[in-house]
Structure 1
Amino acid sequence: MKIQKEIIAFEKDTSFKLFSPSLKNCFFWHYHPEIELVYVEALNGIRHVGRDISGFTESDLLLIGSNVPHLNFDYGIQTECRQMVVQMRENFLQDIILPVPEFENIKNLLERSYLGLSFSGETKKIVVEKLHMIKDKSPFNSLMGLIEILHILAESNEVKELNKEDTRIKWFLNDKIRMGTIYDYIHENYDKKTNVNEIAKVVSLSTPAFCRYFKKQTNMTFTDFVNNYRINQAKIFLLKDYSVTEVCFQVGFESLSYFNKLFKRHTGETPSEFRKKYLRNTEVRN
């Protein structure tokens, strides 16, 4: 599936919409001029925003700027997944935020959202609570609640920029290769030895041309991307009743020591430490 422009419909006399999409196994690589705030809750998932491809565990809160290509956050998730999405009209920044001097911090936030912003910690917790609160309020009170949420995000230092450069749609319009085909190949073959020559042939490119294309699109080599995907799948299995050794071979690695080394490089902790921390956090919440 080539990149698509999503056409977003709004109810009359509203400046934003709040809803809970569910696409699951649909590959929706898309963009839209509307700025979007996304909260996704799942055991584990992959986010693809602009050129950034990374994983999240438990939940993620993201602000995605106008015309930044992104993949639906429930793609490939086999476990339970919940989402809340706020989409602001194309003129939201210009007509609602810019004319008000007191909204200067929100203006700056929305203007740099083209990088893709991921929020964590207490910021994420507070914003999610407030998103639930504005769901059933009147249009006016919901708008005031959204302004408060944007102010909280603008003041937060619990934020990570996902991209270091402009990745708005101009970077991707000439893409004629089906990224969905590549994702499907990896999803179907990550647990065995992947073959770059094979996927290059599937998308009708020579192997060198495919490698150049893939690196340009994702800022990663094909091998690095596959390993990143395997690590994210490993997190799901680690949180189920599987040993580290079982998980290692289940996601396609042939060496336990290499799996441990790569997992720590990606997450900052060993597979055993990751599972213990998650289970400890679950016990604390319960």
Structure 2
Amino acid sequence: MKIQKEVVIPDPGKSFKLFQPSLRNYFYWHYHPEYELVLVEASTGIRHVGQHISSYMESDLVLIGPNIPHLNFDYGIETEYKQIVIQLKENFLGDALQHTPEFAPIQHLFARAYKGLSFTGETKKTVTEKLREMQNLKHFDQLLHLLEIFQILALSQEVTELNDQDTSIKLFLNDKIRMGAIYKYIHSHYHEATDVNVVASSVNLSTAAFCRYFKKQTRMTFTDFVNHYRITQSKTLLLQEKSISEVCFEVGFESLSYFNKLFNKIVGENPSAFKKRYSK
């Protein structure tokens, strides 16, 4: 479960790869030299790009630069979902990006992608429709659609940079820790009283060394990460006709008041408001 290099092969007769992966039961912590545009539509899921970790609701649209480690966006999803992924090399148009003035915004977009870019609002809505349309088009029309998508993203102000520095694979090559083992432990035990000593031992580190490592990799303490994971899982459960108290205890919290307080801090609204808004 060490970080893996994905080998990307463009679709026959095309300069890029367009596909709909389904890997929710597989921890795929990986990187590749190609750019990647990901659209995932799900009730909730985990976004882990470089050192950035957060959750998304309903859908996520992210552009990832070359060699940026990331987790598959459908990992651990327990509800129905759809996903569209496009992968392409920087020179998928040859030298056109560098020598065609009209492509300057797209070239600038690609230059920023090393941080991981998450798009929201009307931008996400428009691009989502175009990605759906692309799947039924012929190759040349798909390429034109793709260029239009990149132009929309390049001009959008509805964007968040997920990392504030370069997190490409060169920073992870000497990492011998198996991130998969950590995720597997959390996914299996988040509803229980998690033990940092156990997970530290599973990756052959002392507890102190593990805590330093984990904080460096994720910018969170192990406890904070587990709590974020619990809140992410609670969102799905809240939309399954379960009461707030049932969800609270099912994801591992022992205090309803603490669950409400933490949920509000992380999500920006209390569980009751969240349940009412999204259940519609």
What range is the shorter-chain TM-score in? over 0.9
Which residue of the partner structure matches residue 130 of structure 2? 130
Unaligned runs of 5+ in 2: none
The amino acid of 1:193's aligned partner reads A
Determine whether 1:242 maps to 2:238: no
- Taking structure 2 as the reference length, the TM-score comes to 0.97
- Distance in 1 (CA, whole Å) between partners of 2:96 and 2:7 is 21
- Over 6 Å off, 4+ runs: none
Which residue of the partner structure matches residue 139 of structure 2? 139
1:87 positional shift: 0.7
Which residue of the partner structure matches residue 159 of structure 1? 159
User: How many correspondences in the alignment?
Assistant: 280
Q: Is the 8 A contact 1:5 1:32 kept in 2?
A: yes
- Distance in 2 (CA, whole Å) between partners of 1:125 and 1:25 is 27
Which residue of the partner structure matches residue 283 of structure 1? none
Q: Is the 8 A contact 1:93 1:110 kept in 2?
A: no
1:88 positional shift: 1.0
Determine whether 1:220 maps to 2:220: yes
SS of equivalent to 1:86: strand
SS of equivalent to 1:182: helix
Q: Is the 8 A contact 1:93 1:107 kept in 2?
A: no
CA shift digits 1:89-140 (9 cap, x unpaired):
2423763322211111111111101111111111111101111222222222
Q: Which 10-residue stretch deviates more, 92-101 or 185-194?
A: 92-101
- Distance in 2 (CA, whole Å) between partners of 1:155 and 1:124 is 13
- Distance in 2 (CA, whole Å) between partners of 1:161 and 1:274 is 25
CA shift digits 1:158-202 (9 cap, x unpaired):
111111111111111111111111001001110011010111111
SS of equivalent to 2:274: helix
The amino acid of 1:273's aligned partner reads A
Q: Please list, as runs of the form range in 1=range in 2, the aligned pairs for 1:30-49 lying within 5 A after superposition.
A: 30-49=30-49
Q: Which 10-residue stretch deviates more, 127-136 or 220-229?
A: 127-136
The amino acid of 1:66's aligned partner reads P
Percent identity between matched residues is 62
Q: Please list, as runs of the form range in 1=range in 2, the aligned pairs for 1:124-273 lying within 5 A after superposition.
A: 124-273=124-273
CA shift digits 1:47-104 (9 cap, x unpaired):
1100011101111011011111000111111111210001112423763322211111
Q: Alpha carbons of 1:242 and 1:11: their partners in 2 closer, same or farther (altered >3 Å)?
A: closer
- Taking structure 1 as the reference length, the TM-score comes to 0.95
- Distance in 2 (CA, whole Å) between partners of 1:118 and 1:34 is 17
Which residue of the partner structure matches residue 82 of structure 2? 82
Q: Which 10-residue stretch deviates more, 175-184 or 10-19?
A: 10-19
Unaligned runs of 5+ in 1: 281-286
1:13 positional shift: 4.1
1:11 positional shift: 3.3
Q: Alpha carbons of 1:183 and 1:30: their partners in 2 closer, same or farther (altered >3 Å)?
A: same
- Distance in 2 (CA, whole Å) between partners of 1:102 and 1:31 is 30
- Distance in 2 (CA, whole Å) between partners of 1:2 and 1:46 is 19
SS of equivalent to 2:77: coil
- Distance in 1 (CA, whole Å) between partners of 2:134 and 2:96 is 18
- Distance in 1 (CA, whole Å) between partners of 2:177 and 2:7 is 22
The amino acid of 1:159's aligned partner reads V
1:147 positional shift: 0.5
1:3 positional shift: 0.5
1:242 positional shift: 0.8
Which residue of the partner structure matches residue 53 of structure 1? 53
Q: Which 10-residue stretch deviates more, 35-44 or 86-95?
A: 86-95
The amino acid of 2:209's aligned partner reads A
The amino acid of 1:62's aligned partner reads V
Q: Is the 8 A contact 1:63 1:116 kept in 2?
A: yes
The amino acid of 1:220's aligned partner reads M
